[in-house]
Amino acid sequence: MGDRLLKLDYGIPARDLACAGEASSNVKKLLVQLGINPVFIKKAAVSMYEAEINAVIHGGGGSAHIEIDHEKVQIYISDKGPGIPNLELAMQEGYSTASDEIREMGFGAGMGLPNIKRYADVLDIKTEVGKGTTLTIVIYFERTDAPSKITELI
């Protein structure tokens, strides 16, 4: 059963910060149910959340595609936004092009991409100005040894 592949797709709404993070929070739940070691779940959840927020704030919404197999979770976040003109600058901590309005809501601290880089085992960014951005994030995981026990209802 090692070659089993689980695919999931989520839409990411444009500029809707109330719903932002729902996809990553869903994926987190699934990884918990699969019994992935929590340390790796955190890596996947935080990096996916940051990418999702980026797509909401900068990308005008987009989509998330997830593939999970026996050793890793691959996260693809795509948007058709303005693209990133200077990727090197964007990878710097504290650099952000977010509007004041977004910053007032507590986002746009310039930690998104740096955080993803910190947590992801593989980070690939394909971006074209005027066309959009696609992030590929890969997290390799281990499972938790602790057994799952659900006995009969009492």
Partner 1 sequence: MGNYFHSVTLDEEKCRGCTNCIKRCPTEAIRVRKGKARIINERCIDCGECIRICPYHAKMAITDDFSCIKPFKYRIAIPAPTLYSQFKPEYNRNKLLNAFKLIGFDDVYEVARGAEFVTEATKSLIAGEGIKKPLISSACPAVVRLIQVRFPNLIDNLVKLESPMEVSAKIIKRKTAVLKGLEPSDIGVFFITPCAAKVTSVKAPYENQKSSVDGVISIRDIYLKLLSRLDQAEETEQLAQAGYEGIRWANSGGEGLAIGTDKFLAVDGIHNVITILEAIENDKLEGVDFIEALSCAGGCLGGPLTVENVYVAKTRLKKHIDEARANTYQNPVLEKFEEDIVWTGNIVYKPVMKLDDDFGIAMKKLEDLEHINDELPGLDCGACGAPSCRALAEDIVRGIANETDCIFKLREKVRDLAAQMMELESKIPPVMDKVRDKDKDKDKDKDKDKDKDKDKS
Per CB under 8 A, residues contacting partner 1 are: 1-2, 4, 6, 8, 29-30, 32-35, 38-39, 41-42, 45-46, 49, 68, 70, 115, 143-144, 146-151, 153-154
Nearer to partner 1, 115 or 136 (CB): 115
Question: In the bound complex, what is the minimum distance in angstroms from residue 4's beta carbon to partner 1?
Answer: 5
Q: The dihedral of CA 32, 141, 124, 106: what is its sign? A: positive
CB of 122 to partner 1, least distance (A): 20
> Rounded to the nearest whole angstrom, what is the least distance from the CB of residue 35 to partner 1 in the complex?
4
d(CA 62, CA 34): 26
Half-sphere exposure of 5 (CA within 13 A, CB side): 6
The smaller minimum CB distance to partner 1, of residues 15 and 29, is found at 29
Specify the residue, 49 or 76, whose C-beta has the smaller distance to partner 1.
49
Which is closer to partner 1, CB of 14 or CB of 30?
30
Distances 92 to 12, 83, 105, 110, 124 between C-alpha atoms, Å: 25, 16, 21, 8, 16
**In the complex, what is the shortest distance from the CB of residue 8 to partner 1, in angstroms, rounded to a whole number?**
8
Closest CA to 74 of 112, 142, 120, 116: 120
CA distances from residue 79 to 32, 41, 65, 128 in whole angstroms, order as listed: 27, 24, 12, 11
